[in-house]
Amino acid sequence: MKLLLKQYLASLRERDELDIVLPDILSELGFTIISRPMRGTAQYGVDIAALGPHPDTGVPAIYLLSVKSGDLGRDDWDTGKQSLRPSLVDILDVYIPKQLPRRYRKMPKVVALCFGGDIQEDVRPRVGAFIDKYAEAGEIDFVEWNGDYIAGLIGTGLLREHIFPKSFEVNFRKAVALVDEPDVCEAHFRSLIDQIVTPEIKNFSDRIRRARQILVAAWTIFAWCRDAGNLEASYRCTSLSLLAIWHLSHQHIVGKSKYHRALSDVVDKAISLMLTNSGAYLDEHVLPYCEIEDGLAASVPSHSSADINLKLFEALGRLALHGHWLVFQKSLRPSEGESDQEPIAEQLNLCSDRLIKLIKNNPVFYTPLRDDHAIEVNLAALLLLHQGETGFAHDWIEQMTLSSIFSHRSHGYFPCAFREYSDLVEHPKSRENYREDATLGSILYPTLGVWLSIFDDQSAFSALEDFYRNFMPHSTWQLWFPDEATDEHLFLNTDIHGAALPGLTLSDGTAGLLKTLEEEISASNDFANLSAVRIGIWPLVLLACQRHRIPLPPQFWVMNWSPSASEVKS
């Protein structure tokens, strides 16, 4: 375990990775964090400041940590702006005499040289000479916290304090060891989540500790997957970790106490990790192929049409979901100037642009295989509408509707309600009544009907209504609404929840369908009472629906009746 943790620490970058993990480690060891890494302000060499016992005497001391990534080589010691020696000089010359709060100035100071790897041998004499020159017994001491030492702190401190109890280690180790097998890695990570998230949570501190356990485990998976060049397993695990952390936190995150702030901090870091992983995954596996005709389809290592269809709709959903997270990030800073929002706006525009090119260059997106691909269709169409791409979204939905109708009527590759892989690869079969069995229920067709109503496409809507009347009277067309139990069970899918709106027909036309939806939405407050919606982190609902294959609540449509940006915001 110690070797695994050391390798994990060595792989972390300095900014937003190692300097995020260290404060949590110190907190669990009993240190009191005084300051954390910040952007945009001069830190004078101190990335983290904390109160803890002096390593020699045990008396209270102020720890000043200067954090660097990887091994400490000659260039990392005394060359460039990010080298360690200038940071240590800043601590001694500026931070201690000028920036350190007065109440701590009479305490012993411990300057900690922190890095995820080791000191290279040609640098060690220089480091030793520096320490000998500036150390003052009982006043200023220096300690070396390399990857081996920090891993030891985790192993003897965090693990001893039940951050990773013995019972957790088996699933944790297997998940890390099998990052090249995403299904197996995810299964062990899910088992680890099940071990951590239990009803027997003693108090606030226990809840925070469990949330941090999940976050550290997810960071470890991500670091190993990034090094292995395979981000599929980490994408699944980080998304699951975010939902698990929210499940632990959602009823306890609002408040002003240090416990509420600690939980909120873990949630923020989990979101940051999810976006980092999502961005890296899309940059490597999706975006390079979007502008190539059949490029993403050709990248799937299979000749099976079912495999290609499943992987491409999965990629579509992930790209669209990443766009929704960018919309959320942009909404957090509405008062900032255009220049401050420009990076996020550029990413969002790139995301929607690539989404359009992905659909245009891969005809598979006009013929979904699974009925629950309605989830991905909704994610993509909602983002396109938000970005003002109404025309393209309309054309795509219309073509998908007509193609799906034609495929069913010609006994072709029509959308089916099956989910088992063995059923999907054999679809469609030629036996009698097969089409009825494959379409006993549907969320895709009513979803397409709602979109056609929003676009006021009378022609395609009429074709869909005719299709239902003549070919699908056996099928239950339905949509899904959250209920009072959804907030407790949605994020980890722990039990049955929600309510279906069955028996949807299109006989009353586009206006009738929209009126039915409006009435149902007005009659329910359960969506507004979802913790993620109430607190404002609404993409969590989209993520949970995508991960657990739950239809998107129709309330998301209400925010997009009109393609007008101002009305969408309203």
CATH of domain 1-159: 3.40.91
364, containing H or E segment: none
Better pLDDT: 75 or 560: 75
Distance separating alpha carbons of residues 233 and 255, to the nearest angstrom = 34
Whole-angstrom Cα distance, residue 439 to residue 416?
A: 6
Per-residue pLDDT for 348 more than 60? yes
Q: What pLDDT score was predicted for residue 415?
A: 97
Domain ranges for the chain: 1-159, 286-569
C-alpha span between 356 and 74 (Å, rounded): 48
pLDDT at 341 over 50: yes
Helices (H) and strands (E) counted in the chain, each on its own, are: 26, 9
SS3 string of 408-459?
A: HHCCCCCCECCCCHHHHHCCCCCCCCHHHHHCCEECHHHHHHHHHHHCCCHH
One-letter amino acid of 301: P
Q: Return the higher-pLDDT residue of 199 and 222.
A: 222
Residue 108 has phi, psi (to 5 degrees) of -60, 140
Model confidence at 7: pLDDT above 80: no
Using one digit for the tens of pLDDT, what is the confidence trace for 447-482?
A: 999 999 999 999 999 999 999 999 999 999 999 999
Check whether 338 has a pLDDT greater than 60: no
For residue 450, give the amino acid letter.
V
Q: Could you tell me the two tokens for 552? A: 């998107």
Report, as an integer, the average pLDDT of 1-21.
Answer: 61
Residue whose entry in the numeric block shows the structure tokens 């995403």: 182
Closest CA to 424 of 433, 413, 432: 413
pLDDT surpasses 80 at 29: no
Pick the closest to residue 223 from 348, 69, 82, 349 (CA basis): 69
Distance CA 272, CA 265 (A): 11
Residues β-bridged to residue 115: 68
Provide the pLDDT confidence category of residue 162 given band limits of 50, 70 and 90: very low
Q: What is the pLDDT of residue 261?
A: 87
Query: What is the C-alpha end-to-end distance of the chain, expressed in Å?
Result: 51
pLDDT digits (tens, 9 = 90+) for 502-542: 988 899 999 999 999 999 999 989 999 999 999 999 999 99
Residue 375 identity (one-letter amino acid): I
Helix ranges (H only) for 286-387 are 295-299, 305-331, 338-360, 374-386
- pLDDT grade, residue 313 (50/70/90)? very high
DSSP secondary structure letters along 488-523: HHTTTT-S---EEE-----TTHHHHHHHHHHHHHHT
**165: preceding bond cis by omega (within 30 degrees):** no
pLDDT at 340: 61
Share of the chain above pLDDT 90, in %: 59
Mean pLDDT of the chain: 88
Task: Compute the C-alpha angle 502/504/510, nearest 5°.
Answer: 150
Q: Which two tokens stand for residue 481?
A: 């609404």
Phi-psi sector, 130: left (phi>0), alpha (psi -120 to 50), beta:
alpha
User: What pLDDT, on the 0 to 100 scale, is given for residue 539?
Assistant: 97
Q: What is the mean pLDDT of residues 114-118?
A: 82
Q: Collapsing DSSP states into helix, strand and coil, what is residue 139?
A: coil
Three-state SS for 188-234 is HHHHHHHHHCCCCCCCHHHHHHHHHHHHHHHHHHHHHHHHHCCCHHH
Render pLDDT for 379-396 as a digit per residue (tens, 0 to 9). Answer: 999 999 999 999 999 999
* 465 and 480 Cβ atoms separated by less than 8 Å: no
- Give pLDDT, residue 168: 80
Percent of the chain topping pLDDT 70: 90
pLDDT in tens, 212-242: 889 888 988 998 888 888 899 999 999 999 9
Q: Report the pLDDT value the prediction gives residue 180, as an integer from 0 to 100.
A: 93
Q: Kindly report which listed range (185-194, 205-214, 279-288, 296-305) carries the lowest average pLDDT score.
A: 205-214
Least confident of 114-128, 164-178, 488-502, 547-561: 164-178
Rg of the chain over Cα atoms, rounded to whole angstroms, equals 27
Place of tokens 């290609």: 308
Q: What is the DSSP string of 37-93?
A: --SSS--TT-SEEEEEE-TTT-SEEEEEEEEE-S-B-HHHHHSSTT-HHHHHHHIII
Tally Cβ neighbours within 10 Å of residue 205: 12
How far apart (Å, rounded) are the C-alpha atoms in residues 478 and 470?
18
Quick one: average pLDDT of 124-137?
A: 90
More confident residue, 164 or 181: 181
Instruction: Evaluate whether 61 touches 110 at the Cβ level (below 8 Å).
Output: yes
Residues 32-50: b if buried by 16+ CB within 10 A, e if exposed: ebbbebeeeeebbbbbbbb
Statement: residue 123 has pLDDT above 70? yes
Instruction: Assess contact for 380 and 352: CB atoms under 8 A.
Output: no
Q: Look at residue 205 and tell me whether its pLDDT is greater than 50.
A: yes
Q: What pLDDT, on the 0 to 100 scale, is given for residue 377?
A: 98
Q: How confident is the model at residue 339 (pLDDT cuts 50, 70, 90)?
A: low
pLDDT band at residue 199 using 50, 70 and 90 as cut-offs: confident
Q: Are the C-beta atoms of residues 34 and 49 closer than 8 Å to each other?
A: yes
Model confidence band, residue 262 (pLDDT cutoffs 50, 70, 90): confident
